[in-house]
Structure 1
Amino acid sequence: MDVRPAAGPDGRHTASGRTDRNAFRVRIAETARVHGIGHILYVGDRPALHHTVEEALTLVSPGRAASLHALQDPAMMRRTLNQAGVSRVNAVVVRSMSAARVWLESLPHPAVIKTGPGHGIDIIRDIGAAEAWLAGRPSLPCVIEEFLEGPRLIVDTFTHAGMHHVLGMTGAGLTGGHLVHPADLAEVPAAAARATVRALLDLTGLESGRARTHVVLTPQGPRIASAQASPVPGPVARLRTAVTGQDPGAEVLAVLAKRAGPRFLTGRG
C-alpha cells in the first residue's frame, strides 16, 4: 500500500509545514494500525519525510524509541557495546567544560568528540584544536573517545522480526570520502564486520526497519563508529543501485518476499 502526502498543483508530493508533517505522521500510523501493517518504508531522498516516517513507526511501536536511543545516541551506544564486550572502544562521557579540558589534554591525539545524535563529530588532532573546540562553547554533555584507525565500511541492513539482513557493505577508504561498492574485503574480515553489526542491532533491541552502521576495520578487529536508523539514501544507495541494478526499496522488498510477505506501507517522494 502506497501512502503519500497530497500532491500540489505541480503534481509533486510534499509535506511542507510542521502541521502538515504531523498530520501525515498520524495518518501513516493510523493506516498501519488499521490494516495490521508491519513495515513502513520511505525510499525517497527527502530528510523531512524520513523523519516523519520514523516518528510514525515510533507511534505504531512505542518500544522502538528505546531501541533507537540505544542505537543512535553516542553515549548509550558506546556503553551498550562496551558493557557487552563487543567492539570495545575507549570512551568517556563529560558533562562540564573543565572535565572536557582534562580529558582532551590527557588522551592521545587524535581524539573524537560526539555531541549527540545529529549534532556532528569533531576530530581533535592536537592541543590547539582542543583549545579551539573549547573556545566555541560546545553543547554538553558529549562523548570523547579514541580515534579509530583503519579502512572504513558503511553497512546497510534491514531488520524484520528481529532478523538482521545485510543489504550491502560499501567501502569508504581511510577517510570516509571515496566510496567503493561492493567493499573489497576478504571473507574473514567481511564476516567479522557483519557479525559485529548484527551484534549491535541485537544489543539495542532493534526489531524492524533499515539501519546504516559505520564500521572501522582496526588492527584489533571491526569497531562500530556510529549508526543511524532509516538513513536517507544519498550517495551510498545511489552507488549500490548503479552496481546492483536494484534501488533501496527493491532490496528491502526482496528480503520481505522471502519471508512470508508481511504487509507494508511504502512511499517515494
Structure 2
Amino acid sequence: MRTSAVTSVLFVGGKRTEALEAARNAGLRVVYTGPVSDMSERHRELVDAAVLLPEFSPRVAVRVAVALHGIVPFDLAYSAGDAYLQAAAQINQELGLRANPLRTVSSVNDKSLMREVLRGIPVGQVAAAQVESPLDLAEFTSANGFPVILKPRGGSASEDVHLISDQDGLTALAERLAFPGGGRGAAPWVVEEYLEGREFSVETHSAAGEHLILAVTEKFKNENFVEIGHVVPARITEEERAALAEETRSVLTALGVEEGPGHTELILTAAGPRLVETHTRPGGDAIVELVKLAAGYDIHEMTFSWLSGKPADVSHEPVAGAAAIWFLTAEQGRVTAVGGEAEAGAGEGVRFAGLSAAVGDTIPEVRGSADRQGEALAVGDDADSALRRARAAIGRLRVEVEPLTPAAAPDQG
C-alpha cells in the first residue's frame, strides 16, 4: 500500500472519463483543469471543482493549478493523456507532491532524452540520435547504415514515423521535412536503427518502484507504422513473455518510474526485446478494455486503489480468453456513404463496432491514429478467434469514397 494516501486528485486534461470514475469510486475528491473543449456533461457530474482554459498551455495550466491548490487543495496531479503528462508532472514538482519525478516523466515524453538516459545501462540498446538537419541524418546513416526510422522527438499517436531504406529515400525525405533550422514550426527529430521483428506492448502497474506485469499486447501496424490492431494476450511463448517482462521492468527502473500505470512498446528481435518507447500512462486504443476483458485487471481501478492507500493488486475474473480491437483504414478520398454499424455490432463476440467517418469527410493517407475511420472490439476463446471476429466486424463497416481531384487532395508533406 502507498505510505502517503491520496484523498483528492487534480486531473489535468482529457476527454475520457473512465479514470475520473475510478477515482470517485475509490472515494477521492476530484478536481479538474483543462481545455474547455475536453469538458463533457459526464465530467461535470464527476468533478467537485474545475477551472477550464480557453485552450491548453502547459505554462498556464501549471500557474492555474498552483493557484487552485491554495483554494481547493489536492494531493496529486494526474493525467492519462500525452498532451498533459508533462504539465501534471510540473505541477507535482512545483507543489512538492509525491509522484513520478519530473525528470522521469520528461525522459519518457522526450524520445531523444529517453535514449540518452538509458545510454550505457545494461538493457537492450538501440542506436539513436537527435537530428536537427539533413547533415545530422546523413552522419547517423553513415555510421549505422540503413534502414533507419525517423520520428518526431515528442511525437505520439504513431504520427509522422518514416522508414528510410537507402540514400535516395533519405535525400527525398530530407527535402520534404522541416528541421529546427529550417523555419517556424519545425521540431527536432529522432533517428533510430530499424528493429526487425514483431511488436508488442507490455502493460504494467508500478507501486513503490515494483513493476507488476498485467498483460502483453500483440500489436499490428500498417506500412506507415500506424497501429491498426491489438490483441490480449499476445501469441508468444512463455520464454518470450518472460524476456519482454524483464526488459520492461529494467527500462522502467532505469528511468525512475515509481508508481502508476505504464505502457511499454518493444520489438522482439532475433537478439531479444528492444525498446521502442514507454509511457507513464495506460495504453490507448482501448488496450485498457482489452486487458480488463482478457486479463481481469482494471488499470484505472488499480491506479486509484493504490493512490488511495489500498492494495494495488486488484484483479477480477477475466471475461474471455482473449480480446482484440481492429481499426478501419479506408481509402483516400471524399466520403460519399457510410453504414454497416448494426451488422458489424451483431457479429459473434463483438463488444463494439462503430465508424468515425461521416459523409463529406476527406480521408487522407493513414499516417496517424486520427486518420483511422472506425473500430471493432471483440472477444474470443483465444487470440486467433478474437482477432478473427474483430476483423470480420470491420469488414462489415462501409465507407464509400470518391477520388479527390489533385487540387483537393490533402497535403501529405
- Measured at CA, do residues 260 and 192 of structure 1 come closer, stay the same or move farther in structure 2, by a change above 3 Å? closer
Give 1 or 2 for the bigger CA radius of gyration.
Answer: 2
Could you tell me which residue of structure 1 aligns to residue 359 of structure 2?
none
Mapped pair 1:178 → 2:229: yes
- The alpha-carbon deviation at position 172 of structure 1 amounts to 0.6
Contact 1:155 1:168 in 2 (8 A): yes
Q: Cα deviation per residue 1:178-229 (whole Å; 9 max; x = unaligned)?
A: 2110112212111111111111111111222222110110000011011122
In the superposition, the TM-score normalised over structure 2's length comes to 0.52
1:72 and 2:109 correspond: yes
State the alpha-carbon separation in 2 of the partners of residues 233 and 58 from structure 1. 26
Answer 1 or 2: higher relative contact order, Cα 8 Å, separation at least 6.
1
- Could you say which residue in structure 1 is the equivalent of 2:252? 201
Residue in structure 2 matching 1:90, options 127, 143, 166? 127
- Deviation digits for residues 137-192 of structure 1 (CA, Å, limit 9, x no counterpart): 33464332211111111112222221122222111147653211011221211111
After superposition, the Cα gap between the structure-2 partners of 1:210 and 1:236, relative to the gap in structure 1 and judged at 3 Å, is same
Q: Deviations over 1:80-109 (max 9, x none)?
A: 333013111222343433232343466433
What CA distance in whole angstroms lies between the structure 1 residues aligned with 2:197 and 2:40? 50
Q: Distance between the aligned counterparts of 1:214 and 1:189, measured in 2?
A: 14
Q: Distance in 1 between matches of 2:122 and 2:41?
A: 54
Indicate the residue corresponding to 1:99 in structure 2. Answer: 136
The CA distance in 1 between the partners of 2:273 and 2:40, in whole Å, is 50
Question: Where is the helix percentage greater, Structure 1 or Structure 2?
Answer: 1
**Alpha-carbon distance between aligned partners in 1 of 2:283 and 2:244, rounded to the nearest angstrom:** 22
Q: Confirm whether residue 257 of structure 1 aligns to residue 310 of structure 2.
A: yes
Aligned to 1:234, what secondary structure does the other structure show? coil
Q: Name the structure 2 match of 1:216.
A: 267
After TM superposition, list the pairs within 5 Å mapping 1:1-269 onto structure 2.
1-5=28-32, 10=41, 12-13=43-44, 15-17=52-54, 18=56, 21-22=61-62, 25-26=65-66, 37=75, 41=78, 53-59=88-94, 60-61=97-98, 64-104=101-141, 107-118=144-155, 120=159, 121-135=161-175, 136-139=177-180, 141-173=188-220, 176-231=227-282, 233-244=284-295, 246-253=297-304, 257-258=310-311
Deviation at 1:232, TM superposition (A): 6.1
Shift of the alpha carbon at 1:130? 1.5
CA 1:78/1:232 → structure 2, altered by over 3 Å: closer, same or farther? same
Stretch of structure 1 that moved more, 6-15 or 196-205: 6-15
Q: Give the structure 2 partner of residue 266 of structure 1.
A: none
Q: CA deviation at 1:27?
A: 6.9
Letter in 1 for 2:168: G
Kept in 2, the 8 Å contact 1:169–1:182? The answer is yes
Secondary structure of the structure 1 residue equivalent to 2:230 = coil
Distance in 2 of aligned mates of 1:11 and 1:91: 43
Counterpart code for 2:203: D
> What residue ranges of structure 1 are gaps of 5+ in the alignment?
262-269
* Matched AA of 1:195: E
Between Structure 1 and Structure 2, the one with more strand by share is 2
Percent of pairs with identical residues: 21
Q: Which runs of 5+ in 2 are unaligned?
A: 1-27, 45-49, 181-186, 315-413
